């Protein structure tokens, strides 16, 4: 029986292929699509109609090789408009290769929710795949800690999707100096993290203080840090400023900046969050950290991630060349950043800009996936937008934002993106999905979360 099914699927593929190539380019996806392949019934998400699913972000070679293995069940395809709109086939997202995914949409349209759905799906992958991946969520609003709690309140909606409420094994980290505040607010966390002042480069300090390296304060800072030898603490930096010859006008201001850094609550011994662990979901809660310092934390965490993956990739490639299979693999991280325009803005530089841009440009080789959520695509760095291979846009209304989406996804210029967005049923979680790989655009509904969502707006009654 198994044989026949595989054979039939292959047959369908042959029949479908020419049609796909003709219809595919720059058109809306046909209702039942795309690449037919054998599909194990048990793996089928949401247990709905046994049509071939839509697979986003996977090229034809991988489709042939892996079918739907290693995909995240993101939601379902919406077919039709207005009252005729209905949900059809599952929409699956490739998790085997690195991607740059941009999630956008106006306030309350479902960006953080979708981010969490992706994180849930990563941990639901079969063990042999999940162990090669891990996720890191940068939580700017303190809303992801509830991922541990099942979404019992949504059991009816979940039931429509043949899903159940589940709590996930998320590991929540808070800055060491703020642990007491979190505890007092009854926010559950698992561990705290801190960085040592000597782990910051002179340019990290320049960016976090908002200085200019060509102006006297910035120049003094560069000079002081350059002459210090690790390990050193904040007091050592202040002493070094005091004992610098000259610069009398600038010294008090710079001393004060470093003294105030003590209050950020992020400095201590070097204890970075341990995120590169097979299958682990880490949540870095930066909600109580000042804006500029958040970017510094993102810089430090993502830089470490990038460095470790670059080293690991070299070892893995060497092992592949020498046909050694026993090498311990460092998982491929999915770095998910909510409110990403604050870290990688289009019009200014933050402490995180350089590292994030590096991941955008070079992250494919070390295998880092970046998921950036933002209310305003127009305010996100153009490099991130133009390198995105998957773009999920919930409802947006600002003309400038629609233009920003259009201008980056050049291949979609023939689509009237605004029309697609306007056609979306007025339901939470609906979005258009642009897949650069197949050059297609889909209307989808993101599946409901199985864990508790803490980002809803409060009601006054």
**Region 106-165 residues binding Mg ion, contact defined as CB under 5 A:** 111-112
DSSP letter for 57, please. Answer: S
**Whether 392 contacts 102, CB under 8 Å:** yes
Smallest gap, in angstroms, from Cβ of residue 188 to ligand ATP?
A: 20
What is the spatial distance between Cα 214 and Cα 218, in angstroms, rounded to a whole number?
A: 6
Structure tokens at 48: 């709905």
Smallest gap, in angstroms, from Cβ of residue 74 to ligand ATP?
A: 10
Find, among 353, 427, 334, 344, the residue nearest to 132 by Cα: 334
Structure tokens at 361: 């440009």
Would you put residue 309 in left (φ > 0), alpha (ψ -120 to 50) or beta? alpha
Decide if residue 169 touches ligand ATP (CB under 6 A).
no
406: Cβ contacts below 8 Å, ≥ 6 apart: 412, 413, 417
* The entry of ligand ATP, Mg ion, none that residue 428 binds, CB within 5 to 8 Å by partner kind: ligand ATP
Smallest gap, in angstroms, from Cβ of residue 288 to ligand ATP?
A: 17
Among positions 448, 450, 451, 452, the unique one binding ligand ATP when judged by CB under 6 A = 448
Cα 113 → chain centroid: 12
Among positions 429, 436, 437, 441, the unique one binding ligand ATP when judged by CB under 6 A = 429
Secondary-structure percent of the chain, ordered helix, strand, coil, rounded to 5:
45, 20, 40
In the block, residue with structure tokens 């996977």? 58
* The entry of Mg ion, ligand ATP, none that residue 350 binds, CB within 5 to 8 Å by partner kind: none
* The entry of Mg ion, ligand ATP, none that residue 110 binds, CB within 5 to 8 Å by partner kind: ligand ATP
* The entry of Mg ion, ligand ATP, none that residue 273 binds, CB within 5 to 8 Å by partner kind: none
Smallest gap, in angstroms, from Cβ of residue 455 to Mg ion?
A: 5
Among positions 21, 107, 229, 426, the unique one binding ligand ATP when judged by CB under 6 A = 107
* The entry of ligand ATP, Mg ion, none that residue 148 binds, CB within 5 to 8 Å by partner kind: none
What is the spatial distance between Cα 18 and Cα 23, in angstroms, rounded to a whole number?
A: 9
What is the spatial distance between Cα 261 and Cα 138, in angstroms, rounded to a whole number?
A: 21
What is the spatial distance between Cα 66 and Cα 171, in angstroms, rounded to a whole number?
A: 30
What is the spatial distance between Cα 440 and Cα 331, in angstroms, rounded to a whole number?
A: 30
Decide if residue 105 touches ligand ATP (CB under 6 A).
yes
Decide if residue 131 touches ligand ATP (CB under 6 A).
no
Residue closer to ligand ATP, measured from CB, 395 or 440: 395
Among the residue ranges 13-21, 105-113, 229-237, 391-399, the one whose residues contact Mg ion (CB under 5 A): 105-113
Smallest gap, in angstroms, from Cβ of residue 428 to ligand ATP?
A: 3
Smallest gap, in angstroms, from Cβ of residue 141 to Mg ion?
A: 6
Smallest gap, in angstroms, from Cβ of residue 361 to ligand ATP?
A: 27
Decide if residue 108 touches ligand ATP (CB under 6 A).
yes
**Whether 445 contacts 75, CB under 8 Å:** yes
What is the spatial distance between Cα 120 and Cα 202, in angstroms, rounded to a whole number?
A: 38
What is the spatial distance between Cα 276 and Cα 305, in angstroms, rounded to a whole number?
A: 7
Longest dimension (CA), the chain: 85
Residue closer to ligand ATP, measured from CB, 142 or 448: 448
**Region 355-394 residues binding ligand ATP, contact defined as CB under 6 A:** 375
Residue closer to ligand ATP, measured from CB, 111 or 294: 111
Give residues in contact with Mg ion (CB under 5 A).
111-112
Give residues in contact with ligand ATP (CB under 6 A).
105, 107-113, 375, 428-429, 446, 448, 453, 455-456
């Amino acid at each position: 029986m198994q044989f026949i099914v595989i054979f039939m699927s292959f047959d369908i593929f042959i029949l479908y292929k020419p049609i796909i190539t003709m219809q595919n380019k720059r058109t809306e996806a046909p209702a039942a699509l795309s690449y037919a392949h054998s599909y194990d019934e048990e793996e089928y998400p949401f247990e709905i109609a046994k049509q071939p699913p839509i697979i986003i972000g996977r090229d034809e070679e991988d489709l042939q090789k892996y079918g739907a293995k290693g995909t995240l069940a993101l939601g379902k395809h919406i077919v039709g408009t207005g009252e005729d709109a209905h949900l059809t086939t599952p929409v699956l997202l490739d998790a085997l290769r690195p991607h740059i995914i941009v999630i956008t949409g106006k306030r309350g349209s479902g960006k953080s929710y979708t981010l969490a759905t992706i994180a849930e799906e990563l941990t639901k992958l079969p063990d042999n795949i999940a162990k090669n991946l891990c996720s890191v969520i940068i939580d700017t609003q303190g809303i992801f800690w509830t991922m541990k709690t099942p979404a019992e309140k949504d059991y009816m909606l979940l039931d429509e999707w043949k899903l159940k409420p589940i709590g996930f094994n998320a590991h929540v980290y808070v800055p060491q100096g703020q642990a007491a505040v979190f505890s007092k607010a009854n926010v559950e966390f698992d561990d705290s993290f801190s960085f040592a002042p000597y782990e910051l480069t002179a340019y990290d300090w320049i960016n976090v203080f908002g200085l200019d390296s060509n102006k006297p304060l910035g120049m003094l800072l560069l000079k002081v840090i350059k002459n210090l030898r690790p390990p050193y603490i904040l007091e050592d930096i202040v002493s070094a400023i005091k004992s610098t010859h000259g610069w009398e006008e600038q010294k008090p201001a710079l001393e004060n900046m470093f003294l105030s850094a003590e209050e950020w609550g992020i400095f201590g011994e070097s204890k970075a969050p341990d995120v590169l662990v097979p299958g682990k979901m880490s949540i870095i809660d930066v909600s109580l950290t000042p804006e500029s310092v958040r970017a510094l934390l993102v810089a430090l965490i993502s830089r470490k991630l990038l460095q470790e993956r670059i080293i690991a990739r070299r070892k893995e490639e060497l092992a592949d060349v020498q046909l050694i299979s026993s090498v311990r693999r460092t998982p491929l991280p999915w770095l998910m950043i909510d409110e990403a325009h604050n870290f990688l803005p289009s019009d200014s530089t933050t402490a995180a800009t350089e590292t994030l841009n590096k991941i955008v440009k070079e992250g494919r080789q070390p295998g880092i996936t970046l998921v950036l959520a933002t209310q305003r695509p127009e305010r996100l760095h153009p490099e991130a937008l133009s390198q995105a291979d998957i773009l999920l846009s919930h409802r947006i209304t600002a003309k400038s934002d629609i233009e920003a989406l259009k201008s980056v996804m050049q291949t979609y210029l023939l689509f009237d993106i605004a029309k697609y967005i306007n056609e979306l049923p007025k339901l939470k979680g609906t979005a258009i999905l642009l897949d650069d790989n197949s050059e297609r655009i889909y209307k989808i509904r993101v599946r409901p979360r199985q864990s508790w969502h803490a980002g809803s707006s409060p009601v006054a009654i």
